[in-house]
Structure 1
């Protein structure tokens, strides 16, 4: 029996032919990324941090794939907006504005 945990992923489709698979961050993933100092925070904080990491991962994937236009980061912004607290919503909105997405 394997003890290796399955990494949950979602596929973000930008068009019928272009999509990227993005890992959904877990508590272990957050800890592995030098964010151990967050371990004494509330579950809500972890939840928001996970979506911030998710957004950053998606943003990096988009920027390194020349076939995907920057304005498709809007999808990540929408996901984050629905899942995150107001503080993180403001951050996602700022990131979206930086790449030219109108609210």
Structure 2
């Protein structure tokens, strides 16, 4: 994965974690939705100014865009998938008929 792909992947990951659409991030950052889409796909080169605007909109440090993404299906992901923090029970409800 090249640097554009890494930055794009992380922008998309952080945006989705915050449940923000590209349209919302576009409004918050001042970038067009098409530009964000291209950047997330690794087709656009973002300037530092643009990355700073996006970082501010996502409330993260700009360095978060450069971290190496975890490998798909990593042991940590598999082991913690669906885990409940210790001391807490998961409430299961059934739909009413």
| TM-score bracket for this pair, using the shorter chain length | under 0.3
Q: How high is the TM-score relative to the length of structure 2?
A: 0.26
Specify which structure has the higher proportion of strand.
1
Larger radius of gyration: 2
Q: RCO greater where, 1 or 2, for CA within 8 Å and sep 6 or more?
A: 2
